[in-house]
Structure 1
Amino acid sequence: MTPLAIRHVRITPIAFRDPPLLNAAGIHEPWALRSIIEIETACGRVGINETYGDLPMLEALAKAAPALQGLSPWDLITMEIRVAALVSPGQTGSEFLGEQISLAPGTHVSKNVAKVISAFEVAMLDLQGQLAGAPIVDLLGGAARDAVPFSAYLFFKYAEHIGQPYAADPWGEGLTPEQIVAQARQMIATYGFKSIKLKAGALPPEQEVQALLALAKAFPGAPLRIDPNANWTVATSLKVVEQLRGVLEYYEDPAPGLEGMAEVARQCEVPLATNMVVTDLKEFRRNVEMGCPVKIVLSDHHYWGGMRATQRLATMCQTFGLGLSMHSNSHLGISLMAMTHLAASVPQLSYACDTHFPWQDDEVVQGGRMSFEDGSLRVTHTPGLGVTLDREALARLHDNYLNTSIRQRDDLAQMRKYAPAFTGEQPRF
């Protein structure tokens, strides 16, 4: 084995605190799951990454890990071929864990191959950067921008979890327009975000409209977005967008399916964005064949197949005149920094990216939580990702995982602790 050959792949599941955030499927559980990937070469260098941590993903990662044995960190193509041969798109050895509702492809086992390739690719790129003495953004072609803008990501939420095993949520309740404005003021004061996104689809649309109108009044001129996660019918979607005339920067996933989005687009002047109906190149092609009812693709390298695949997506968006930004899930600093390197390498990034980062208070990298400047995160110039693991934090978050029974996110089951009759039926409004 040569000094640069990969000899170990370590996968460590972790859990960190997550507030009671409401969405179309229900409510976040008290613990969010992620996994930390470490790829070690024979000479002892270690590349890291952060990805999904649900049980089906952990099983897929474990099944694919032997594919890396003996590879060079530069051998990404062979890694992809081997992973695809070992991991079936819908493969999971675990039994189906309850009646669940998925809001995004990150939870779909159909994306397992793309998710595993991405998980290993970023860690291998981190190794490449260390060996080359260059940040990942340079490996991707260089930086189109020095800092990447992110958006304030607001949620309707309860004040605390039922039976929560930790201290009360510092953000407090967020159900009224006044509370949502206060939430935005706190988030913008802390991080400096310039644009605002409101997660909707949880409360009656009339209440959510009033919250967005209150935000428009409180933050005049700020770009505003709303995302009901396809929990509105076409009729409701059209009614809401009329009530929000002149307010929205874009309209994210109001109605279910590409057909529903197309029907909304035919009667709506606001551009539609998605992270639900254009999630791979096959769906991208279908959107184009339908005349591009979706005008903005919210990419996510975690399930699009990695950083290089997302760069190819960016080229496709440019070719067909579509906008591009980034979707987010509950994540920590490794994932956030990977997003930042990737977004910095894409010249045609059209809108500020999503991030759940403000909602988390834990961290797994040395130096603690990252600092935003005027709503943006600067790209690191140190080799690779530019972050290193905090071993004590990793051990603590892994202990959290071992001590919680959660093994797959289930917002529906969690919501039934508050409302036993909640069905999660979609579209609900």
Structure 2
Amino acid sequence: MTTAAITGVTARAVVTPMKRPLRNAFGIIDAGPLVLIDVATDQGVTGHSYLFAYTRLALKPLVHLVEDIGRELTGKALAPVDLMKVMDAKFRLLGWQGLVGMAVSGLDMAFWDALGQLAGKPVVELLGGSARPIPAYDSYGVLDAKADERTLHAARDEHGFRAIKTKGGHGDLATDAAMIKGLRGLLGPDIALMLDFNQSLDPAEATRRIAVLADYDLTWIEEPVPQENLSGHAAVRERSEIPIQAGENWWFPRGFAEAIAAGASDFIMPDLMKVGGITGWLNVAGQADAASIPMSSHILPEASAHVLAVTPTAHWLEVLDFAGAILTHPLQVIDGKVTAKGPGLGLAWNESAVAKYQVT
């Protein structure tokens, strides 16, 4: 069988609508700035992936980076591990962090998607596993038990979610405690509840707040302090009665090796667009297995369902849907779980919707 070769890479920027704004400690996300990546091959298959850019300001630079890197890779064999080595050599002196790391990760996901399409299989099967339902949690911004009661009941009753995540750090300790107390009262004891501080606290304040919130049976506290402060994470973890979750902003496998060595968290949650795509994820999954650390995903639920299915310590899949408006087959949550779809990553663009939301 002849190995497919890359014949071209294109990227497009879109800004998708969200069902509800997402408020966190630093502001409000009210739309989904995405970069759609297409990797064409000489065998008539085009691999797809997308990146969440966080801000519209990053869209144009990401589009240019993806396409410029793609030009450097044109003509090369569609072999993700080999291509990752090529990109590592190209950017080793510059470093992986930031937009370069996101572009590399997005390209890697598109490479795997193309391989899956060529094989007529979902990526999870290429990785040696099989598609299975992955427990998912519904991810929100700041919640209010009274104002959001109908929304949360629908998440439970219509989609079967057995876990909910909210944001904190937008106010003082009393604000966080009132929110969590209200949510626990509304959800009852059988729904897992997670709280994300989005790096908004220092270690001392995080420790103080967690001590008060420990009464509400939280599944985890996420990113209580700045992500690069590994010693701060470790200090908070040492004093916390609630497990500490982190990792969405740790870059590539090396970042996780350093964090695990530092004892920075009880759980980890790589982001596919920062960990090196599927190729990078597999490396981190091995680290998590060796260290017996439960591993969850961060955004990108369609692709995450594939890799979590082959992750030995798979924990939770995050559902935060930025791409549904531009997908031919939007994400499905059934009985609170997500199952990987194929072929490839199961991504296909709804081109009329892409045209509607595309920005230049």
Same fold (TM over 0.5): yes
Q: Which structure ranks higher in relative contact order (CA pairs < 8 Å, sequence separation ≥ 6)?
A: 1
Alignment partner, residue 208 of structure 2: 239
Counterpart amino acid of residue 254 in structure 1: P
CA drift at 1:78: 3.5
Post-superposition Cα deviations, 1:177-207, rounded to whole Å, max 9, x if no partner, equal 4224444223333422111111111132312
Matched, 1:224 2:193: yes
User: How far does residue 316 in structure 1 lie from its aligned partner after superposition?
Assistant: 0.5
Cross-structure match for 1:300: 271
Give, in angstroms, the shift of residue 132 of structure 1. Answer: 1.7
The answer as to whether partners of 2:81 and 2:279 remain within 8 angstroms in 1 is: no
Q: Which moved more, 1:80-89 or 1:258-267?
A: 80-89
- Relative to 1, partners in 2 of residues 1:89 and 1:60: Cα closer, same or farther, differing over 3 Å? farther
Give me the whole-angstrom Cα distance separating, in 2, the residues matched to 1:192 and 1:366: 23
The SS at the match of 1:155 is coil
Match of 1:134 among 111, 115, 121: 121
> Could you tell me how far 1:307 is from its partner in structure 2?
0.9
- 1:393 counterpart (347, 353, 357): 353
Write out per-residue CA displacement over residues 138-167 of structure 1, whole angstroms, 9 at most, x where no aligned residue: 111112x611121021222xxxxxxxxxxx
Distance, in Å, in 2 between the alignment partners of 1:377 and 1:277 is: 23
TM-score scaled by structure 2? 0.87
Give % identity: 22
Q: Is contact 1:84-1:113 (8 Å) kept?
A: no
Map 1:228-267; keep pairs closer than 5 Å: 228-246=197-215, 247-256=217-226, 257-267=229-239
1:14-42 superposed Cα distances (whole Å, 9 cap, x missing partner): 111244322122222x4321111111123
Q: What's the CA shift for 1:366?
A: 1.7
> 1-side partners of 2:351 and 2:137: how far apart?
30
Once the two structures are TM-superposed, the CA of residue 122 in structure 1 deviates from its matched residue by 1.8
1:23 corresponds to? 24
Q: Deviating runs (4+, > 6 A) in structure 1?
A: none
Change (3 A) 1:284 1:119: closer
Gaps of 5+ in 2: none
* Aligned residue in 1 for 2:311: 346
Give the distance between the partners of 2:51 and 2:318, measured in 1 at CA.
Answer: 16
Matches of 1:300 and 1:33, distance apart in 2 = 16
SS in structure 1 of the partner of residue 200 of structure 2: coil
CA-to-aligned-CA distance 1:255-306 (integer Å, 9 cap, x gap):
332222222222222221113564444433333443x141111111111001
Q: Cα deviation per residue 1:53-95 (whole Å; 9 max; x = unaligned)?
A: 423322321220112211232x22342233335457758xxxx
Unaligned runs of 5+ in 1: 92-108, 157-173, 329-334, 403-429
Look up the equivalent residue of 1:255 and give its one-letter code. Answer: V
Determine whether 1:363 maps to 2:321. no
Q: Say which of 290, 294, 302 aligns to 1:337.
A: 302
Residue by residue, what CA displacement relative to the aligned partner does 1:319-362 show, whole Å, maximum 9, x if unpaired? 1222211112xxxxxx4321111111213102x222211xx585
Aligned length: 349
Summarize the Cα distance change of 1:287–1:46 in structure 2 as closer, same or farther, 3 Å threshold.
closer
Question: Please, which of 190, 196, 213 is the counterpart of residue 164 of structure 2?
Answer: 196
Q: Is the 8 A contact 2:196 2:224 kept in 1?
A: yes
Pairs within 5 Å for 1:12-91: 12-18=12-18, 19-28=20-29, 30-53=30-53, 54=58, 55-73=60-78, 75-87=79-91
Match of 1:211 among 155, 162, 179: 179
